[in-house]
């Protein structure tokens, strides 16, 4: 197994499941309604805001792997959510999935020799961006798990 394949496996596990740490991002999102997703905890982002944030940063990392100069996602660090309908919630989840699939596709075309290259005009290597994505998924899955219990 190549280093790219190992990193891709860790991203997949953190996002979809069979992670050693517990529920993946998608596993904690299972069954959440738009009403639950929009609910804000005390001094905390809502589940929906977290989903939009993770989705936006997944797209930003994908763009960096392509070589695009991206400091912050086009929609901002914490994209807003004006419409809180079930249709809008499903669209947010579909966007998250689409951005995840785009990242996996970009990773599949990445040569292991390029892991130390920096991308998108930033001094952060592809290796750090990809491992950061794993950490980002795990961190926010934990936040969502706590918010679900509230």
Mean pLDDT of 86-105: 98
CB burial class (10 A; 0-12, 13-18, 19+) of residue 82?
exposed
pLDDT of residue 88: 98
State the fold for domain 3-149. Answer: 1.20.120
Residue 40 vs residue 34, higher pLDDT: 34
Residues found in the chain = 150
pLDDT score for 25: 98
**Whether residue 45 has pLDDT greater than 80:** yes
Q: Which residues contact 115 (CB under 8 A, 6 or more apart)?
A: 3, 4, 125, 126, 127, 130
Lowest mean pLDDT among 12-16, 87-91, 121-125, 135-139: 121-125
Name the token pair of 68.
């695009």
pLDDT at 132: 97
């Amino acid at each position: 197994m190549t280093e790219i394949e190992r990193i891709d496996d860790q991203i997949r596990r953190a996002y979809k499941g069979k992670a050693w740490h517990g529920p993946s991002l998608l596993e904690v999102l299972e069954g959440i309604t738009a009403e639950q997703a929009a609910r804000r905890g005390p001094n905390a982002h809502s589940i929906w805001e977290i989903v939009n944030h993770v989705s936006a940063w997944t797209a930003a990392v994908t763009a960096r792997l392509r070589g695009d100069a991206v400091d912050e996602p086009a929609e901002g660090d914490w994209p807003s959510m004006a419409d809180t309908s079930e249709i809008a919630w499903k669209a947010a989840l579909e966007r998250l999935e689409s951005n995840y699939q785009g990242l996996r596709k970009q990773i599949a075309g990445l040569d292991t020799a390029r892991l130390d290259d920096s991308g998108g005009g930033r001094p952060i290597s592809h290796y750090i961006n990809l491992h950061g994505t794993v950490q980002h998924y795990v961190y926010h899955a934990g936040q969502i798990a706590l918010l679900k219990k509230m």
